[in-house]
Structure 1
Amino acid sequence: MNCIVGVDIGTTNVKALAMSVADGSVIAQASAPVITYFPKPTYCEQDPERIWQDLCRVLDELVRQINRQGSAIEAVCFSSAMHSLLAVDTDGKLLTNAIIWSDNRAERQAQALRPDQSPIGRDIYRHTGTPIHPMTPLCKLAWLRDNQPRLLKEATRFISIKEYIWHKLTGHYWIDYSVATAMGLFDSQARDWYAPALAHVGIRADQLSEPKPTTTCVLYQKDRVSGQTALPNGLTLYIGASDGCLANLGAGAIEPGITTLTIGTSGAIRRTSGKPLRERQGRLFSYILDVDEGGKDAYFVVGGPTNNGANVLQWLAESLTRQDVADTLAEAELAPAGSDGLLFLPYLQGERAPLWNANVRGAYLNVGWQHTRAHFIRAALEGVMFNLLSIEKMLARHTGPTRVIHANGGFAQSGFWVQMLADIFGVPVRLNASNESGAIGAILLAMKAQGLVGSLAEAARRVEFGQTFDPNPDHHRVYRNVFKRFQAACTTELYSGSRVAL
C-alpha cells in the first residue's frame, strides 16, 4: 500500500501525516512541539536548526510507523507557517533566529507604510496582496534597515523557516509562490520579486530565494544534501504552499460560497477564488495556492487573519476563572446568547484583520450589576466571533455571501463554541473530520501534481466531514442586534484617537 506524506511546519508544532493513496485513510502521524522565544517585549523568535531537528525526529517516527505496515512513501509535500524571516551567510549558516509572524518589533516601520497614509504602501499592497503589518517580512526587513543595516548588507540571503528546511533537503534556495505572496515583496501577478518593495527595504533580488510554483518537485538525494532524514532515497519532494492556503484545500473549501474558519491560538477567515483580491483599504490578503505556468488555471486564497482566537479563552482560564479551559467553557453556558448586553472587544494582542493595528487593546463595554462571571466569559467568546464576522462581511463584498462554513482548529472540540459560531453567522457550520487540514491540504496538492486527481476541486471532494451545526434562529436574531453594537463600538475613537472602520 502506497502513501503520500504531508508535512506541516507550524509555529506551535511540526506535524507529519501519511495518507493511503488507495482509500484516503490516515495510516500514520507524528508531531513535535515548537519552542518560541521572547527575548524582548514584542519580540517572537524560533530557532530554525532546532525546528529542523524536530522535523527529523517526526519523520523518523512516521517512517517507522509506515514501515511497520509494509507501506511505501510515494511523495512528500510541505506546508508551513507564513511570514517568518531569518538571515544566512554564504555557507547557509544561520546569522539570526527566525522572526515569526507574531513578532511586532516592526510596528513603526509598518505604520510608515499604512496604505491610508503612504503612496508606496498602497502601491506595494496593490502588487503583492499582502496587508501592511509588522508580521510581514517586508516590515521586518525595514526594521533591519533601520536597526541593523550591516546585517542587511552582509547577509547572503533572507529566507523563511520553510526555505531553510527545503535547502537542507534539496540544496536549493527556492520559495513557493504561496509563501512568497505572504512576504509583502512578491508581485503575485507577475510572479516575481517586486522591485519597488525591495528598493524600499534596501535589499537585492539575489538575496531572496528563487520563486517556484507550489507543485514544483525534486527527487530526494541524500548524498547530495546536508540534511539527512529517515525518508527513503529517491522519493519525490513537492515544495507545497503555506499553511493558510493548504488549510483551505484540506478543509474542502474550494467551491464558491464555502468559507473556512480556523481558530487555534489565533484564527482566520478564508475563501478560495479564481483571481487575486485587492481591498481598497488594504485589509484583506490574497495568497497563491496554485497557478499553472500559463496562468489560466489559478487558485487564490483570500481573507483575513486575527490575532485573537483561543488565546482569549486561555486568558479567561488563567486570569479570570483560575480553572481549566473545559470548566471555563462550561461556565459560559450559564449566560444567555448576547450576554445580557455585555460586549467584549477581543484585542488582547493587538489585531490584524480587520483593524491592522498592533497597538489596539481589548475592552469590556456596558458592564452592569446583573453581569456575572459567566457573562464575562461568554461575552469574550462572542467577541472573538464578532471580530471574525466583521472580516467575513468585508470579504463577502468581494467574493459573495457565505452559504456554509467549514470549521477547524482547536476550538472545534467545543460543541458549545461551534454552535455559537453557527448562531452568530447564521449559516450551517460543518466540522472537518480531521483538524490536520494543513497536512491534508499538502497531500491533496501532491495528488493533483501527480495526476491522481484532475483538479484541486476534485481533490477537495475527498475531504471527510464530521458533525454539522445548524444556526438557532432565535439566537441569530439576538446576535444580529448585538453585532451592530459591536461594530459601533469598534468605529468609535477608542484607540489613541484613531478611528477604526469595519
Structure 2
Amino acid sequence: MNCIVGVDIGTTNVKALAMSVADGQVIAQASAPVTTLFPKPTHCEQDPNHIWQELCQVLDELVQQTEAQGASIDAVCFSSAMHSLLAIDAEGKPLTNAIIWSDNRAERQAKALRPDRSPTGRDIYRHTGTPIHPMTPLCKLAWLRDNQPRLLKEAARFISIKEYIWHKLTGHHWIDYSIATAMGLFNSQTRNWYAPALKYVGIRASQLSEPKPTTTSFSYQKNQVADKTALPDGVTLYIGASDGCLANLGAGAIAPGVTTLTIGTSGAIRRTSGKPLRERQGRLFSYILDVDEAGKDSYFVVGGPTNNGANVLQWLAENLTRLDVADALAEAEQVPAGADGLLFLPYLQGERAPLWNANVRGAYLNVSWQHTRAHFIRAALEGVMFNVLTIEKMLARYTGPTRVIHANGGFAQSEFWVQMLADIFGVPVQLNASNESGAIGAILLAMKARGLVGSLAEAARQVEFGQTFQPNPDHQRVYRKTFRRFQNASTMELYSVQP
C-alpha cells in the first residue's frame, strides 16, 4: 500500500497525515506542540530548531505507523503558516528566533506604509497583493531596518520557518510562490521579488530564497543532508504552499461561489479565484495556490484574516464568565438571536481584515439592566461572525456572492455556533469531515503534481463532508438589522487607541 503524507507546520502544532493512494483514507497521523515565546510586549517568536525537532518526532511517529501497516511513503508535501521571518548566516544557522504572524512590534512601520496614507504602501500592495500590517515580513524587515540595521546588512538570508525546514531537508534555499506572496515583497504576477519593496526595507534579492512553483519536487537522500529524519531515501518531497491556501483546497473550496471559513484562535474567510485580486483600499489578500509556467490553470486564494475568533470565547471564560466552553455555549443558546440588542465589537487583539488596525479595541454596546451573563456570551459570538461577514461583503464585490460555506476549525465543533454562522450569512454551511484541511490540501496538491488527478478542481471533489446547516429565516431577519448596527459601530474612531 502506497501513501502520500501531508505535513502542516502551524504556529500551535506540527501535524502530519498519511493518506492511502488507493482509497483516499487516512491511515496514520501524528502531531507535536509548538511553543511560542513572548520576550517583550507585542513580540511573538518561535525557536526554529525546536520546530525542526518537533517535525522530526512527528515524521518518526508517522513512519512507524505506516510501516506497521505495511505501507510505504511515496511523497511528502508541506503546508506552513505564513508571515514568519528569521535571519540566518551563510551556513543556514539561525541568527534570530522566527518572528511569527501574531508579532506586532512593527506597528509603527505598518502605520507609516498604510495605503490610505502612503503612495509607497499603495504601490507595494498593488504589486504584491499582501495587505500592509505588522504581520508581514515586509513590515518586520522595516522594523529591523530601524532597530537592528547591522543585522539587516550582515545576515546572509531572511527566510520563513518553512524555508528553514526545506533547507534542512534538501540543502536548497527555495521558497514556494504561495509563502512568497504572503511576504509583501513578491510580485505575484511576474513571480519575482519586487525591487521597490526590497529597496524600501534595505535588503538585496540575494538575501531571499529562490521562488519556486508550489509543485516543485526534490528526491530526499539522507547522505545529502546533515540533519536526517526517519523518511526513507528516494521519497519525493514537494515544497507545497501556505496553510491558508492549502486549507481552501483541503476544504474542497475551489468552485465559484464556495467560500471557506476557518475559525480557530484566529480565523480567515477565503475564496479560490482564477486570477489575483487587488482591493481598492488594500484590505484583502491574494496568495498563489498553484500556477503553471504558461499561466494557465492558475489558482489564487483571496480573502481576509481576522485576529479575533475563538480567542474571544477564551477571553470571556478566563476573565468574565469563569465557565468552560461547553457551559458558556449552552448558556448563550438560551438567549434569542440578536442578544436582545446587546452588541459586541470583537477587537480584543487589534484587527486585521477588514480594518487593518492593530490599535482598534473591542467594546460592548447598548448594555442594559436586562442583559445577563448569557447575553454577553451570545453577543460576543455574534460579534465574531458579524466581523467575518464584513470581510465577506468586501470579497463578494470582486468574486461574486457566496452560495455555500465550507467550515472548519475549532468553532465547527459547536453546532450552535455553526448554525449561527448559517443564520447570519443566510447560506448553507457544510462542515468538512476533517479539521486537518491544511495537511489534506497538501496531499491533494501532491496528487495533482504526481498526475493522480488532472486538476486541483478534480482533487477538491474528493474532499468529504459532514453535516450541513440551513439558515433559519426568522433569525436571518433579526441578524440583517443587527448587522447594520454592527457596521455603523465598527467604523467609529472611538474604539481605536493610539500606540
Provide the TM-score with structure 2 as the length reference.
Answer: 0.99
1:416: how far off? 0.5
Deviation at 1:121, TM superposition (A): 0.3
Q: Distance in 2 between matches of 1:497 and 1:432?
A: 38
What is the aligned partner in structure 2 of residue 482 from structure 1?
Answer: 482
Q: Partner residue of 2:297?
A: 297
Q: TM-score, structure 1 length as denominator?
A: 0.99
TM-fit CA distance, 1:424: 0.4
| Cα deviation 1:164-219 (Å, max 9, x = unaligned) | 00000000000000000000000000000000000000000000000000000000
2:358 is the counterpart of 1:358: yes
Task: Determine the structure 2 residue equivalent to 1:2.
Answer: 2
- Paired letter, 1:465: F
Q: Counterparts of 2:339 and 2:28 in 1: how far apart (Å)? A: 43
1:4 Cα deviation from its structure 2 partner: 0.2
Q: What is residue 143 of structure 1 aligned with on the other side?
A: 143
CA shift digits 1:425-461 (9 cap, x unpaired) = 0000000000000000000000000000000000000
Task: Give the partner amino acid of 1:37.
Answer: L
Superposition pairs of residues 445-456 of structure 1, within 5 angstroms = 445-456=445-456
The SS at the match of 2:494 is coil
Report the Cα offset of residue 329 of structure 1. Answer: 1.1
Tell me, in whole angstroms, the C-alpha distance in 1 between the residues paired with 2:52 and 2:159: 14
Q: Distance in 2 between matches of 1:227 and 1:429?
A: 44
- 2:36 is aligned to 36
In 2, Cα distance between equivalents of 1:467 and 1:333: 19
Q: In the alignment, what sits opposite 1:401? A: 401
Aligned to 1:173: 173
How far residue 491 of structure 1 moved from its aligned partner, in angstroms, is 2.1
Shift of 1:324: 1.2
Distance 1:415 1:493 in 2: 35
Residue identity opposite 1:32 in structure 2? A
Look up the match of 1:45: 45
Who is 1:212 aligned against? Answer: 212
CA offset at residue 493 of structure 1? 2.7
Partner of 2:435: 435
**Cα deviation, residue 496, structure 1:** 4.3
**What secondary structure sits across from 2:495 in the alignment?**
coil
User: Which residue matches 1:100?
Assistant: 100
Q: After TM superposition, list the pairs within 5 Å mapping 1:192-341 onto structure 2.
A: 192-341=192-341
Looking at structure 1, the residues matched to 496 and 101 of structure 2 have their Cα atoms a distance apart, in angstroms, of: 24
Contact 2:362 2:495 in 1 (8 A): no
- Secondary structure (helix, strand or coil) at the match of 1:95 reads coil
Does residue 153 of the first structure (1) align with residue 117 of the second (2)? no
Q: 1:109 deviation in Å?
A: 0.2
Q: Secondary structure at the match of 1:43?
A: coil
**Counterpart position of 1:344:** 344
Return the offset for 1:160. Answer: 0.2
Kindly report which structure 2 residues correspond to 1:3-152, keeping only aligned pairs within 5 A, or say none.
3-152=3-152
User: Partner of 1:469 in structure 2?
Assistant: 469
1:385 is matched with 385
Deviations 1:63-119 (A, max 9, x none): 110000000111000000000000000111110000000000000000010000000
Deviation at 1:24, TM superposition (A): 0.4
Q: Match of 2:388, SS?
A: helix
Provide the C-alpha distance between the structure 1 equivalents of 2:384 and 2:490, rounded to a whole number of angstroms.
Answer: 13
Question: Is residue 2:380 matched to residue 1:372?
Answer: no
C-alpha distance in structure 2 between counterparts of 1:241 and 1:497, whole Å: 36
Amino acid at match of 2:294: G
CA distance in 1, matches of 2:334, 2:47: 43
Tell me how far apart the structure 2 counterparts of residues 493 and 315 of structure 1 sit (CA, whole Å): 23
Q: How far apart, CA to CA, are the structure 2 residues paired with 1:237 and 1:170?
A: 9
The alignment partner of 1:368 has SS state of coil
The aligned length equals 498
Q: Deviations over 1:100-147 (max 9, x none)?
A: 000000000000100000001000000000000000000000000000
Secondary structure of 1:494's partner?
helix
AA partner of residue 130 (structure 2): T
Partners of 2:286 and 2:497 lie apart in 1 by 30
1:397-435 Cα offsets, whole Å, 9 max, x none, are 000000000000000000000000000000000000000
Secondary structure at the aligned position of 2:73 is classed as strand
CA–CA separation in structure 2 for the residues paired with 1:419 and 1:193: 43
Q: Which runs of 4+ in 1 moved over 4 A?
A: none
Q: Is the 8 A contact 2:261 2:270 kept in 1?
A: yes
SS at match of 1:31: strand
Counterpart-to-counterpart distance in 2, 1:492 and 1:53: 46
Instruction: Give the letter aligned to residue 335 of structure 1.
Output: V
In 2, distance between residues paired with 1:496 and 1:23? 52
Taking structure 1 as reference, are residues 497 and 358 closer, same or farther at Cα in structure 2, changes over 3 Å only?
Answer: closer
CA offset at residue 227 of structure 1?
A: 2.3
Per mean C-alpha deviation after superposition, the further-off stretch among 221-230 and 439-448 is 221-230
Q: Is the 8 A contact 2:4 2:18 kept in 1?
A: yes
CA distance in 2: counterparts of 1:108 and 1:483, whole angstroms: 32
Greater shift in the superposed pair: 292-301 or 451-460: 292-301
SS in 1 for 2:382: helix
User: How many angstroms apart in 2 are the aligned matches of 1:343 and 1:496?
Assistant: 17
Distance 1:294 1:361 in 2: 46
**Paired-residue identity, %:** 86
Give, in whole Å, the separation in 2 of the partners of 1:20 and 1:4. Answer: 7
* Cα distance in 1 between the residues matched to 2:497 and 2:93: 45
> Partners of 1:98 and 1:209 in 2: how far apart?
16
Aligned-pair CA distance for 1:497: 8.2
How large is the Cα RMSD of the aligned pairs? 0.8
The code of the aligned residue for 2:432 comes to N
For structure 1, the 5+ residue unaligned runs are none
- The letter for the 1-side match of 2:340 is D
Deviations 1:341-383 (A, max 9, x none): 0000000000000000000110000001110000000000000
Secondary structure of 2:489 counterpart: helix
Q: Which secondary structure does the structure 1 equivalent of 2:54 belong to?
A: helix
Q: Does 1:492 align with 2:489?
A: no
